[in-house]
Each structure stands twice: as structure tokens, then as C-alpha cells.
Amino acid sequence: MPTHDQVLNFGAGPAKIPIEVLQTAQSELLNYDNTGMSVMELSHRGKTFGKILADAKQNLTKLLNIPDNYEILFMQGGGTTQFSAIVYNLLAAKGKPDAPVDYCVSGSWSQKASEEAKRLGANVNIVFNTKKSTGAYTSVPPQSEWKLSGSDAAYVYYCDNETVHGVEFNSIPDVDSSVPLVADMSSNILSRPFDVSKFGVIYAGAQKNIGPSGVTIVIIRKDLLTPLKSAAEIPASGLVTPQLLDFKTLADNDSLYNTPPTFAIYMSGLVFKHMLEKGGVEAYTEANDRKARKVYQVIDNSKIYKAPVATEARSRMNIPFRIYPETLEAEFLKGAEARNMVQLKGHRSVGGIRASIYNAMGEDGVDALVAYMKEFEGQHQA
């Protein structure tokens, strides 16, 4: 059986975690900071875990240069739970339950987010839906074609990187300055620098480009934190926010209103510290650009590989591609596993191959994949 350092994990999530982080966690697992307890056994209200939480927030703030007027929350339920939380909290912040909520639909996750908003009764405006307009989630239309609601909107939502389809925005959308911009960055947060001040809310499930599953990072501008109201205080057409989805409740209690996912927060904190030691987000950006460029060059110069996503919208984190004839894909995956390259199979909804090359995937791993792709094509050229 292969050892951990022999396997190249191209999984989309849960995904690869830096070996140095895993080794630190391993060394501290049975006795964290001379407490005689594992992190998983510490009281979430004790001083020891309090420092873990504070350090994680401080280091994430450094990595993303988060301004003082933003709050960092550690929540549960994954990015999917935020589909609901965003509707509840930002309609409450707007103070108009029937205000339009704008959704940019560029893939399956933004589609699911818009569907949840509709299910909750929100007045959903689809800014664009590339599958409906072009037949596939393979691009982002120019902003001149978007149908935004303007200042009437409670927020504008988009998914910065669609994990399934490999579609990534190459710039931050330009929206009315009075309207909060909401971004799902679950699969590309910390992969490149960006201006946090342009956003009302940013959220990211940790299990892709941060750490293990179980915790979701929420970064929210403080003026959007709205006092929780009861049903009696809300108009009949309004939404009553569940307490554990209420951002202000979480912020007021430093993410400790109930027991948080302590181990996942600890692991995320180790990743933040590790990234700072390695040069921060800027250093990872350069490596990520190089890694993605290597894979796409092989695809673009190939006669059997094809990337479905338009060049200007290609993800640097999740690279889906097909092999023609498609009957070769099973053979490709089998050969990859024989070389200890795992989790390259595309999402069940789209098929094909998908290489997820998050921050933790080193360039040597990408070089090994590229070499195999070239070898495989050499064996199957007509």
C-alpha cells in the first residue's frame, strides 16, 4: 500500500492538506500544549481553545488583509447552509423582504444557491444563467450583458469558482456601491489576493482550499449584522432567521454561541500559519498560476484532451477535461491510480476527468500528472 507522501490527491474536496500541517496535528493529537488532552477534548470556552480561535482569526486577517470593519465567523453546515443564511441575513439587513436578490448563475453551485433562495420565497432575479443562454456552464458573459437590479437589490451573489464545472471569475464583479456583493469562494479562497472591502459577505467551506470538512469561514461587513427579530416583529411577508444562521448572533458570541467544530478550526488555523510561513497568498498565487498553466498547455496542445471551459473563464483550482474517444477515460483513470494519482474522476453530474490542484498540491504533483498525460496521449494517438 502507498504511504501518504506517495499518493497524489487530486480530489475536489475533502482535499489535500499540507503534509507539514498533518504532521503538526499528529504530534499534538494526544497532548495539545501540555494540557494532557487532545484538541478534540478541549472545552470550546476554555482559554486554550480561545487562543486557537483568536490565532486563526488573526492569521486569516493577515493573509487576506481583512479590514477592521469586517467580522470573521466560523460556522457549520458547509457552503450549502450559507445558501439559506445569506437570504435570511441580507434581506433582514435590507429591511425589505420583497427586495430583489440578484444571482449570477455560472455553474451547479450558484444554480443551487438561487434555487434555495427561491424556495425560501425570496424575489430572485437571475442576472445571467450561462447554461440557459449557451447550453452549458463553460463561460462568464461580459458584464454588459448582465441584468442587475441596481440599488433596489438586497445583494448580488456569485460563485467565484465553480468546483464542478471549472468556471472561475477573472475579476470582481462591478455592482452598485450600495448593494452588498456576496461571493462563494469555497474552492478558491486563499489562492489569490483580492480586495475584501469590495464585498459584503464572503464565505468558504474549508474542505477544499483550507483544511478539513466541518467548518465554514464567513467574512461579513459589520454594518450588515442585523439584530435578530422574532416572528411578531417581522412583516408577514418577511423571513424569520433561525438563530444558528444569524450572523449577528455568531458575531456577538465570537462563533461560540454553541459548540463550534473545534478540531476543524484548529486545523484551519494550522493551515493559515503554514501559509504565512511560506510567503502568504502572494507566493501561492504565483505557484497556482504556474501549475494551472502547465496542465492547460498539455490540453491545448493535445489531439485527445479537450477543456470545455472558455479560456478566459478557466479555473486555476479545478481543471475539468474530456478524453476523446471517451472510452479512453476509464483507462486513463486506471493508469493514474496505478501511478498513485487518485480522485481524478470528474463530478458524477458531468463525467470526464477533473484535476483539482489547490494550494496544497505541489508543483511536483502537477508535473507528475502532466508527464502521465503526455505519456498516455503518446500511447493513444491515431
Residues known to be catalytic: 109, 184, 208
Residue recorded with cell 423571513: 239
For residues 42 and 35, what is the distance between their CA atoms, to the nearest angstrom? 9
Q: Which residues are CB-neighbours of 7 under 8 A, at least 6 positions away?
A: 340, 341, 342
- The H helix count followed by the E strand count for the chain is 10, 14
What strand order describes the sheet that includes 155-159?
A: 70-75, 216-221, 201-205, 181-184, 155-159, 100-105, 123-129
Adjacent-strand bridge partners of 276: none
| Residue 238 · residue 218 · CB < 8 Å | no
For residues 38 and 29, what is the distance between their CA atoms, to the nearest angstrom? 5
> For residue 91, what is its C-alpha cell?
434581506
Alpha helices in 182-308 (DSSP H): 247-252, 262-277, 280-300
In the chain, % helix, strand, coil (3-state, to 5) comes to 45, 15, 40
**Opening angle at CA 352, ends 317 and 312, nearest 5:** 45
